[in-house]
Structure formats: structure tokens, C-alpha cells
Copies of this chain bind each other. A is one copy, B any other.
Amino acid sequence: MADSTVNKTADIFNKTRLDALLNRRFFYAPAFEIYGGVAGLYDYGPPGSALQANIIAEWRRHFIIEEHMLELDTTIITPAPVFETSGHVARFADWMVKDTKTGDVLRADHLVKGVLEARLAGDKEARGLIAQPVKEDEKKRKKKIKSTAVKLEEEVVNEYESILAQLDNYSGPDLGDLCRKYKITNPDTNNEVGEPQQFNLMFASSIGPTGQHPGYLRPETAQGHFLNFSRLLEFNNGRIPFASAHIGKSFRNEISPRAGLLRVREFTMAEIEHYVDPEDKTHERFDEVRDVWLALLDRDVQTSGRSEVRDMTVGAAVDGGVIANQTLGYFLARIQQFLVKIGVNPSRLRFRQHMGNEMAHYATDCWDAEIHNSSGWTECVGCADRAAYDLSVHSAKTGHQLVARQALKEAIVTERLVPEFNKKTIGKTFGRDCAGLQKAVDALSEEELARLQGELGQGWTVVCVEGKEFTLTSEHVSVERKVFKQSIREYTPNVIEPSFGLGRILYILLEHNFWTREQDVERGVLSLPPIIAPTKVLIVPLSSKEEFVPLVREVSLKLRKAGIYSRVDDSNTSIGKRYARNDELGTPFGVTLDFASVQNRTMTLRERDTTSQLIGNIDEVITVVTDLVEGNIDWAGACKLLSAYDGVQAVE
């Protein structure tokens, strides 16, 4: 909504003010606050819940309905064998260290990073240098670890910088070595820390009354899709490609979450698993997004130690091999369209490709949609090519074939040598060794079979099974060339997975749309697009006097009938205060009912960002505001349909 004509305090983002607003208006708050709270758990209040529900509804429209995806709702509680197979029990872990005296627990990589950065900052201070333009995320971390002005050797500075550049590359033991070598201690207590230990991030529980069935809370919804693959494929009449989608909560027992909604222990995800033929990753709607521009930070640029983003169209990126295939490219474009539609600032959005060493254990390629915010660049959507990993491991473990079958237009004809046993004679001759012998012959290569064929032609051959030799003649077996016709192709589909962290997106949306009025920085505004704003229209009667009641009811009812969510504010404060409250809640439009409404059936319409007002007949205004909310017209369009209103009495 907010455009350049609005008097904003432009680029000065004040996180303290936003946090105060979000807390005051109960967008969200620490869960169990009156019990002292628990790190990484947050409750959403009424505006936060409505915002989340609207984001989910738009996500459902943009992805599930638009693309005819198959929606699922699978369980959170998952028996342990599933995550043993998927690799999460062994590998879904972070390295932690314990304070040797207090027992406090810290994430090892965060500790090393924080301490070394603080020392480098202290070095700059000691040298009397103004620290280089500090990145916002570093600024924040420094609140935690105070730097002291201590000058370092030139050589040490270089070592620290090199360590920081490759931090994601270190194993747990490496991090332990770093702590010892550089005397890194717990900054809160100055105590030494112990050896890094792996900490699995899944919450464990136990299913049923006997305690014999260990389970976990899922850390992602993905496994629930994969286990249902056969049913989904059947529901889709056996056709590939198709996608399943699931919106639901997932859980990660983070070691020490501190970053508000950006790192939490319980969160709502929206995940898509798109199943494709590994030999054909084109997308039938690719042409619709071919010309969409993306800001790409690819693997090669990063590996060479740089970070400049390249602007490319999806078409050019796929054609040039920067993005691996059309389906990945299609989803990156669709992800961008979704994020921008709900209010993310497109100039603060980029797609970063994972480097080899940081990829999850199941992925073969991965792009993150990263959005810039006061903590730096944050991953909000991952878009991974999981290849056939998951379907393959679950097939192998359960024996249930998670495969697709394709009727071949033209059958594939192949010829090969095949051993044909004479069951009678072979059984008679070899008795209980017979099965092992047959198995050994069946397993021979084409080349070996040819040799066998030759030897049998000359009389006999010897086959060795587990150190024991057997003499075969043409009475026992013959080798013949046979023709095979394959009319069905069976394959394990590959999976492209766009995975959204809705809480992160929600928080960053609030940052991108927050500003304060130039005339009064205490007056915050959230310029949320109407599509996701918790309330679309505020109805403001001049007072709670009896005579306004029927009009308020009429306008409420008509808006509800038009499908527009409105709220009435008939509290006893001034109209200006009521609008200010709703600017903070992100309500894009307000209509005021005053004495003129009672007499002439007129109503004023206020736009949140400009605070400008229009006036018209009640029914006209309802039509205009409906079109505004539905995005059929913008405010400039509305100004052509209704008269400007400059009455001072009513508003501000």
C-alpha cells in the first residue's frame, strides 16, 4: 500500500519501536509468560493469528488451488523407525558445548562466531578505527558479547577472519579444537567449555501406555508426504508429475533460541513435495514464469568468496544451467510471486544456492529464498531437490515399492542370454545345493553366461558356490538368447520440495511494512496489504449514541455480505485515537459514521497510509471499499469514484 507519496520516516527502521507495538497490540508474545516463559515458544494473539490465517489462506490459493495440489494433513507424532530410515535420528543434530561449571549449554558454532567477532571488533576499537559499516546482524550479536578494546597481532586477525569465513565447514571436534586453541570461554561466565557433543534437535516422546514405542515430534512435514506416496499417486490416477502439500506444525528442540520468531522450537510450515520423472524435470507451465526476474546468489560465486547477486530471468537461469531444471526454476518464480503479493519488499529478497558442504543430508541441490531484515539475510523458504532419496530409503526399509509406472508408447526390446534349468535333473543331481547353485548361475553376467554357453556346448562346466565346486552339463542347464519386451517403465520419482517457514515470513513482513508518521515517531503504521491485513475495514461511529446503532449494523451486515471482514470500534476514545490504534493493527481502510450519515446517508472512507479521506453515499462507499480490498482498484482509482473529503471534525 505505502508508496512514495506518503510521508514516511523512510529508511530508519527502529526495531525497539516495532517490538513494542507488536507486544502492545498482542501480535505475539512469549508463551507461558506468567510462568516466566520458555525460550523459543511464542503465542499469537488476535492480530497475529488473523495475519497467520490470512497468509495461510493466500498460500492455499496461490499454490494448492492454483496448481491443483493434493493437500494432506498427517500426524505430528511419528514412530522412531520412520526417522531412523530418513536419517534424522543419526544426523538431524547441532553441536553444543557445556559451561564446565554452571552446566549452561551453548551452540558451539554460535559461540566461536560470537567470541571471535567480538575480539575483532575490540581490535578495531584499540586501533582507533571506526569499525567497518557494521552489518545489522552483527550489531545485534554484539549486544550479547561485549567487545573490549584489545589490539591483536596482525597474524591473529587474519586467522580469525579465515575461521569465520569457513565456519559452516567445521565438524564438532574441529570446533572443540578452536575453543582450546583460542581460549574461547562462555562469555556470560568466563568459564571454560567442555568438548562439543551432538544434540539431536527432535523432541522425543513415547507412544502408548507401555513405554515400548519411542516416537518423535516431526521436525518437518515431508516424511508424512512420502509415506503416503502410493495413495497419492493412485488418487492422481497414476499420473506424474503432481504435488502434495501440507500446512502444519513442526518442532525443533533448538539449543538456545534467542532471535524472536526467527528461531523457535515450534512453528507452522507449509511444505510442497512435487514428484517428477527424474528423466524429465521440465514443467508444463514454465513459459508463464520464463520472464520473471530473480536475484540469484549461486554456489560458484559464494565458493569463490564473493557475495554479489546476479539479476537474471528464470528462463535465462535455467537455459544457462545456473538453476538445474525447469521445475526448480518454476517454483523459485512462484515463491517470489507469493512473497511479493503478501507484502515482502522485492528489493530485499534473494535466492541463495546452498554450497556442497551445507546441504541437508537428503538434498542434491537447494536454493533458499532469503529475505533481508534487521538480523541480516534470513532463510524463509527452502527449495530443495531431494532427488529419489526419501522414497528410496523408505522403499528399501519397508519393502513397499514407492515407485511410479509409465506405460511406454513404444516397448523397449532387448535381447540377452538367459540360463534355463532342467528342474528335474538338476534337483536329482544336486539335492539341497540346487537352490544356491541356480541363484549363482542367475547372477552371472552376460559375459560369464556366454562363456558358460560355450563350455556347455563342449560338454561340461564348473560353477563355484561358496567355495564348493559343481559340475554342470547340458542335461542340467542350457543358455539361450531371448528377446525381452518392456512395455512398462518403473521408476522412483524425484522430489522437488519448496518448504516455507510461515512464522519467519510473518515476522519479516511486519518489519518490511512498519514505519512511523513523520510528524510523530510514536505513531506506528503497519502497511500490510489488504489481502493479509487482519481486519480489512474499521467501522467508526462518531460516538456510541443510540442513533448510530442501526447504521453501524447496516454497514457491518453489508460488508459481511460482500465477504469483507470488518470490525466496529465504538469505544469511548476520540476518532483519531481509534484510527491510530488501527494503523498499528494494519487495518487498511476505515469508514466513519457521523451525524451527516444519519441525515444524508453519507459515509467517509479513510486510507491508512495517506490518511486521506473520501466521501460518498453509504452504498457507493461499500462498493468502492470492496473493490479496494479485492484489489480491483487502487486508492487513485477510488479517488476518481468518490469525492475528496476535507472535513476536519472527524478524523486525526
- Residues of A at the B interface (CB closer than 8 Å) are 25-26, 29, 31-35, 38-39, 41-46, 48-50, 52-53, 60, 65, 68, 70-79, 81-82, 96, 103, 105, 199, 203-210, 213, 215, 217, 224, 227-228, 230-232, 234-235, 237, 249, 251, 253, 255-256, 265-266, 268, 394, 398, 400, 402, 560, 565, 567, 571
Q: Is the CB of B38 within 8 A of A228?
A: no
Q: Once bound together, how far apart are the Cα atoms of A567 and B228, in whole Å?
A: 22
Q: Is the CB of A217 within 8 A of B205?
A: yes
Among the interface residues A71, A79, A394, which one has the most CB atoms of the partner chain B within 10 A? Answer: A71
Known pairs A38-B77, A77-B203 / 10 extra A-B pairs, C-beta < 8 Å: A26-B228, A45-B72, A45-B228, A45-B232, A49-B73, A75-B266, A76-B76, A76-B266, A204-B205, A237-B571
Q: Is the CB of A228 within 8 A of B29?
A: yes
Shortest CB-to-CB span from A450 to chain B, Å, is: 41
A45 contact set on B, CB distance < 8 A:
70, 72, 228, 231-232, 235
Q: Is the CB of B103 within 8 A of A210?
A: yes
A265 contact set on B, CB distance < 8 A:
77, 207
Q: Is the CB of B75 within 8 A of A42?
A: yes
Shortest CB-to-CB span from A346 to chain B, Å, is: 25
Q: Which 5 A-B pairs have the closest CB atoms?
A: A49-B71, A34-B400, A44-B73, A43-B74, A46-B70
Q: Is the CB of B77 within 8 A of A227?
A: no
Q: Once bound together, how far apart are the Cα atoms of A124 and B81, in whole Å?
A: 47
Q: Once bound together, how far apart are the Cα atoms of A199 and B211, in whole Å?
A: 11
Name A60's closest neighbour in chain B (CB-CB).
B53
Q: Is the CB of A65 within 8 A of B565?
A: yes
Q: Once bound together, how far apart are the Cα atoms of A398 and B33, in whole Å?
A: 10
Question: Which residue of B46, B68, B72, B255 contacts A235 across the interface (Cβ within 8 Å)?
Answer: B46
A35 contact set on B, CB distance < 8 A:
79, 81-82, 227, 398
Contact (A75, B400) CB under 8 Å given A82-B35, A210-B103: no
Q: Is the CB of B31 within 8 A of A46?
A: no
Q: Once bound together, how far apart are the Cα atoms of A141 and B468, in whole Å?
A: 59
Q: Is the CB of B96 within 8 A of A72?
A: no
Q: Once bound together, how far apart are the Cα atoms of A274 and B310, in whole Å?
A: 54
Q: Is the CB of B105 within 8 A of A209?
A: yes
A31 contact set on B, CB distance < 8 A:
74-75, 224, 227
Q: Is the CB of A394 within 8 A of B105?
A: no
Q: Is the CB of B217 within 8 A of A32?
A: no
Contact (A71, B50) CB under 8 Å given A35-B82, A38-B207, A45-B232: yes
Q: Is the CB of A75 within 8 A of B41?
A: yes
A402 contact set on B, CB distance < 8 A:
34
Q: Once bound together, how far apart are the Cα atoms of A50 and B394, in whole Å?
A: 27
A33 contact set on B, CB distance < 8 A:
227
Q: Is the CB of B77 within 8 A of A41?
A: yes
Q: Is the CB of A249 within 8 A of B76?
A: yes
Q: Once bound together, how far apart are the Cα atoms of A191 and B224, in whole Å?
A: 38
Q: Is the CB of A34 within 8 A of B207?
A: no
A400 contact set on B, CB distance < 8 A:
34
Name A43's closest neighbour in chain B (CB-CB).
B74
Q: Once bound together, how far apart are the Cα atoms of A26 and B244, in whole Å?
A: 13
Q: Please tell me how many copies of the chain the complex holds.
A: 2
Q: Once bound together, how far apart are the Cα atoms of A42 and B76, in whole Å?
A: 10
Q: Once bound together, how far apart are the Cα atoms of A211 and B78, in whole Å?
A: 21
Q: Once bound together, how far apart are the Cα atoms of A203 and B78, in whole Å?
A: 13
Q: Once bound together, how far apart are the Cα atoms of A204 and B210, in whole Å?
A: 13
Shortest CB-to-CB span from A134 to chain B, Å, is: 30
Q: Is the CB of B266 within 8 A of A77?
A: yes
Shortest CB-to-CB span from A557 to chain B, Å, is: 11
Q: Once bound together, how far apart are the Cα atoms of A50 and B203, in whole Å?
A: 29
A217 contact set on B, CB distance < 8 A:
205, 217
Q: Once bound together, how far apart are the Cα atoms of A265 and B205, in whole Å?
A: 13
Name A402's closest neighbour in chain B (CB-CB).
B34
* A/B interface sample: 28 pairs, CB < 8 A: A26-B232, A29-B231, A31-B224, A32-B227, A34-B402, A35-B81, A35-B227, A38-B79, A38-B213, A38-B215, A41-B77, A43-B73, A43-B74, A44-B72, A44-B73, A44-B74, A45-B235, A46-B72, A46-B232, A52-B73, A77-B203, A77-B251, A77-B266, A96-B209, A203-B207, A208-B256, A209-B253, A217-B217
Q: Once bound together, how far apart are the Cα atoms of A60 and B56, in whole Å?
A: 14
Contact (A75, B206) CB under 8 Å given A227-B32, A228-B29, A249-B249: no
Question: Which residue of B224, B235, B567 contacts A43 across the interface (Cβ within 8 Å)?
Answer: B224
Shortest CB-to-CB span from A321 to chain B, Å, is: 33
Q: Is the CB of B43 within 8 A of A71?
A: no
Q: Is the CB of B68 within 8 A of A567?
A: yes
A49 contact set on B, CB distance < 8 A:
71-73
A48 contact set on B, CB distance < 8 A:
73
Q: Is the CB of A205 within 8 A of B203?
A: yes
A43 contact set on B, CB distance < 8 A:
72-75, 224, 227-228
Shortest CB-to-CB span from A601 to chain B, Å, is: 25
Name A203's closest neighbour in chain B (CB-CB).
B205
Q: Once bound together, how far apart are the Cα atoms of A78 and B235, in whole Å?
A: 37
A208 contact set on B, CB distance < 8 A:
39, 105, 253, 255-256
A205 contact set on B, CB distance < 8 A:
203-205, 217
Name A52's closest neighbour in chain B (CB-CB).
B73
A251 contact set on B, CB distance < 8 A:
76-77
Question: Which residue of B82, B204, B235, B565 contacts A32 across the interface (Cβ within 8 Å)?
Answer: B82
Q: Once bound together, how far apart are the Cα atoms of A62 and B217, in whole Å?
A: 32
Name A204's closest neighbour in chain B (CB-CB).
B205
Q: Once bound together, how far apart are the Cα atoms of A64 and B571, in whole Å?
A: 20
Q: Is the CB of A25 within 8 A of B235?
A: yes
Among the interface residues A72, A210, A231, A232, which one has the most CB atoms of the partner chain B within 10 A? Answer: A231
A210 contact set on B, CB distance < 8 A:
103, 105
Shortest CB-to-CB span from A94 to chain B, Å, is: 9
Shortest CB-to-CB span from A70 to chain B, Å, is: 4
Q: Is the CB of B398 within 8 A of A34?
A: yes
Q: Is the CB of A253 within 8 A of B103?
A: no
Q: Once bound together, how far apart are the Cα atoms of A72 and B45, in whole Å?
A: 5
Q: Once bound together, how far apart are the Cα atoms of A9 and B584, in whole Å?
A: 58
